């Protein structure tokens, strides 16, 4: 929107606020209130830019800033934002190039069954071989990939590569369940089922060997539609796991209706076991609750023997963490597995 002849920044603020109140009022459709959120950014001619391209770019940066401060905000552009928005643009184009030039690699972290410490499966974790910055961990680029939507093609690559690898290992006599992280954006994609079906066929993957990990907060976002989506995935024969359990707000009523096989207790609860009485209580209760819902439990981030021992006593079905192994490159993992090193 162009506001002409607005000498006064405060006036711009007023107009933006009027927009926000108008747009955030509930819309009644079939007797139900629907809400939309709105984030507005603005830049000022001639201070922030002298042509349309610059003004739009700066307003866009301001809009992202407004978004980052929560819903229904307005923000004027400022110079500090400029730096952020150019970093964002660079990262976005680098991510596109990374996909094209094969700079991503999957590492695999063992999931160990208890008792008996048997290697049951692996979780695929993405890494980026950045041409200048070296090996990057997912925390530094997945959020941006989510924001730009690039997580969809990246996630497709991850699924395809993980399935391909699982089948290569199967040929070598190494039968492992393959867990793949699915982002919220991917989970809500209309054509997710078609994409997965296509990948399973192309890689000849055994459907039952594939597990999708979806975080608790993504699942609970729109729990009714989550149930339908999960049922559709389950009907294909896949396994489903709730990732980072305990960090979101789970409704027990929904939890029992989700057709999932496994629940992964977030690493933040495992870290201070057995010293922290609260974490001990939470973990014990979570394992009991999961078992009464007929779900298996995976404890994430197991680093010490004491943690392992506690989890085994409490009946955790699987453990994953540095105590057994860091995430490894594919060839390292299979060498260790075939040598019986887990």
Q: Which residue has the tokens 């990732």?
A: 243
Gap between the Cα atoms of 238 and 232, Å rounded: 10
3-state DSSP of 134-189: EEECHHHCHHHHHHHCCHHHHHHHHHHHHHHHHHHHHHCCCCCEEEEECCHHHHCC
Q: Binding mask 135-174 vs Mg ion (x if CB under 5 A, - otherwise)? A: ----------------------------------------
Nearest approach in angstroms of CB 66 to Mg ion is 30
For every residue of 63-118, DSSP letters joined together read HHHHHHT-SS-EEE--HHHHHHHHHHHHHHHHHHHHHHTT-EEEEEEEEEETTTTE
Gap between the Cα atoms of 128 and 89, Å rounded: 17
Binds ligand C2E (CB under 6 A): choice among 77, 203, 327, 330:
327
Report the partner that residue 322 touches, choosing among ligand C2E, Mg ion, none (CB closer than 5 to 8 A by kind).
ligand C2E
Gap between the Cα atoms of 197 and 192, Å rounded: 9
Nearer to Mg ion, 213 or 279 (CB): 213
What is each CA distance from 199 to 10, 102, 123, in whole angstroms?
54, 18, 18
Gap between the Cα atoms of 55 and 48, Å rounded: 6
246 contributes a contact to ligand C2E by CB under 6 A? no
244 contributes a contact to ligand C2E by CB under 6 A? yes
Q: Binding mask 49-88 vs ligand C2E (x if CB under 6 A, - otherwise)? A: ----------------------------------------
Question: What does the block give as tokens for 144?
Answer: 């941006």
325 contributes a contact to ligand C2E by CB under 6 A? no
Of all residues in this chain, which one has the CB nearest to ligand C2E in the complex? 321
Q: Binding mask 26-55 vs Mg ion (x if CB under 5 A, - otherwise)? A: ------------------------------
Using CB atoms within 10 A of its CB, is residue 248 exposed (0-12), middle (13-18) or buried (19+)?
A: middle
Tell me if residue 340 falls in helix, strand or coil.
coil
User: Measuring CA to CA, which residue among 121, 130, 111 is closest to residue 323?
Assistant: 111
Binds ligand C2E (CB under 6 A): choice among 94, 156, 216, 243:
243
Q: Binding mask 134-153 vs ligand C2E (x if CB under 6 A, - otherwise)? A: ---xxx--x--------x--
- Taking every pair of Cα atoms in the chain, the longest distance, rounded to a whole number of angstroms, is 75
Q: Binding mask 96-115 vs ligand C2E (x if CB under 6 A, - otherwise)? A: -------------x------
Binds ligand C2E (CB under 6 A): choice among 303, 304, 332, 342:
303
161 contributes a contact to ligand C2E by CB under 6 A? no
296 contributes a contact to ligand C2E by CB under 6 A? no
Nearer to Mg ion, 49 or 138 (CB): 138
Q: Binding mask 243-262 vs Mg ion (x if CB under 5 A, - otherwise)? A: xx------------------
216 contributes a contact to Mg ion by CB under 5 A? no
Query: For residue 41, what is the enclosing H or E element?
Result: strand 40-42
CB atoms within 10 A of CB 113: 16
211 contributes a contact to ligand C2E by CB under 6 A? no
Report the partner that residue 137 touches, choosing among ligand C2E, Mg ion, none (CB closer than 5 to 8 A by kind).
ligand C2E
Interface residues with ligand C2E (CB under 6 A) are: 109, 125-126, 137-139, 142, 151, 155, 158, 181, 183, 213, 243-244, 267, 300-303, 320-322, 327
């Amino acid at each position: 929107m162009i506001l002409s002849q607005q000498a006064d920044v405060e006036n711009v603020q007023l107009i933006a606020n009027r927009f926000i109140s108008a747009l955030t009022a509930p819309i009644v459709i079939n007797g139900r209130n629907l809400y939309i959120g709105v984030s507005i950014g603005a830049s000022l001619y001639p201070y922030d830019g002298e042509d349309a391209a610059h003004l739009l770019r700066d307003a866009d940066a301001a809009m992202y800033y407004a978004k980052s401060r929560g819903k229904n905000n307005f923000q004027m552009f400022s110079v500090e934002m400029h730096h952020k928005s150019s970093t964002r643009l660079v990262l976005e184009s680098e991510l596109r190039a990374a996909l094209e030039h094969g700079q991503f690699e999957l590492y695999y972290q063992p999931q160990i069954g208890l008792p008996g410490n048997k290697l049951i499966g692996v979780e695929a974790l993405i890494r980026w071989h950045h041409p200048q910055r070296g090996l990057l961990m997912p925390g530094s680029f997945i959020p941006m990939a989510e924001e730009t939507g690039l997580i969809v093609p990246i996630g497709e690559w991850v699924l395809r590569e993980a399935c391909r690898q699982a089948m290569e290992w199967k040929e070598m006599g190494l039968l492992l369940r393959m867990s793949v992280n699915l982002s919220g954006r991917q989970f809500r994609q209309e054509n997710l089922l078609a994409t997965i079906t296509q990948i399973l066929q192309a890689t000849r993957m055994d459907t039952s060997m594939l597990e999708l990990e979806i975080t608790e907060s993504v699942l609970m976002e729109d729990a009714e539609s989550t149930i339908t989506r999960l049922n559709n995935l389950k009907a294909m024969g896949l396994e489903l796991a709730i990732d980072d359990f305990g960090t979101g707000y789970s409704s027990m009523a929904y939890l029992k209706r989700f057709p999932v096989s496994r629940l992964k207790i977030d690493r933040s609860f495992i870290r201070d076991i057995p010293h922290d009485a609260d974490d001990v209580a939470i973990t014990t209760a979570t394992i009991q609750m999961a078992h009464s819902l007929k779900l298996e439990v995976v404890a994430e981030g197991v680093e010490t023997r004491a943690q392992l021992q506690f989890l085994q006593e409490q009946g955790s079905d699987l453990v994953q963490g540095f105590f057994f192994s860091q995430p490894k490159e594919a060839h390292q993992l299979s060498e260790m597995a075939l040598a019986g090193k887990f």
